[in-house]
Amino acid sequence: DILAAFRVTPQPGVPPEEAGAAVAAESSTGTWTTVWTDGLTSLDRYKGRCYHIEPVAGEENQYIAYVAYPLDLFEEGSVTNMFTSIVGNVFGFKALRALRLEDLRIPISYIKTFQGPPHGIQVERDKLNKYGRPLLGCTIKP
């Protein structure tokens, strides 16, 4: 499994366990509408699961929600697929006042499926003229 730790601040009236479960569902197989393809396979195999939640010391109404994602949920070799699933849509979830990914643990067997940039990191850095820092990208939404 891929293990993620999210700092969760639920909206008033939302129990922390419900917020953690909502993060796990929304960032894996959960959706706000009925999808006809849901009946084609058992979603239990692909569901993210919030297996532990604990309060953040010294912070009111903040919790760390630990979520496990089965590797079958992700396409091998696709960093984009993995990050889009885990951190794509969940940050706009209405049950949460705030959410931050604190930690991500990826099994070595899955990491080995990533090939990296097709031309090597140095070529990518030269094209962008960016050195000495991580290269990250995101989709900008209104």
What global pTM score does this model have?
A: 0.73
Task: Annotate 11-61 with DSSP letters as a single string.
Answer: PTT--HHHHHHHHHHHTTT--SS--GGGGGS-GGGT--EEEEEEEPTT-TT
* Confidence at 130, pLDDT banded by 50, 70, 90: very high
Looking at the structure of the chain, the number of domains it has is 1
- CA atoms of 50 and 62, how far apart (whole Å): 15
The answer to whether residue 142 is domain-embedded is no
Q: What is the distance, to the nearest Å, from the Cα of residue 27 to the centroid of all Cα atoms in its chain?
A: 6
- pLDDT tens figures, 12-68: 999 999 999 888 887 776 554 555 455 555 666 667 889 999 999 999 999 999 999
What percent of the chain shows pLDDT beyond 90? 43
Tens-place pLDDT, residues 18-30:
999 888 887 776 5
Is-contact 3 104, C-beta < 8 A? yes
Domain of 51, CATH number, reads 3.30.70.150
Asked whether residue 132 is domain-assigned, the answer is no
Evaluate whether residue 97 is within a structural domain.
yes
**Side chain identity, residue 87:** V
Phi, psi of 132 (to 5 degrees): 70, 20
pLDDT in tens, 95-127: 889 999 999 999 999 999 988 767 888 898 999
3-state secondary structure (DSSP) of residue 64: strand
CA distances from 25 to 2, 19, 28, 47, 49 (A): 14, 10, 5, 7, 7
Residue 10 lies in a domain: yes
Evaluate whether residue 124 is within a structural domain: no
Domain that holds residue 111: 2-117
CA dist., res. 128 & res. 34, Å (int): 42
Distance (Å) of CA 101 to CA 51, 92, 118, 119, 121: 16, 13, 28, 30, 25
pLDDT for 135 equals 84
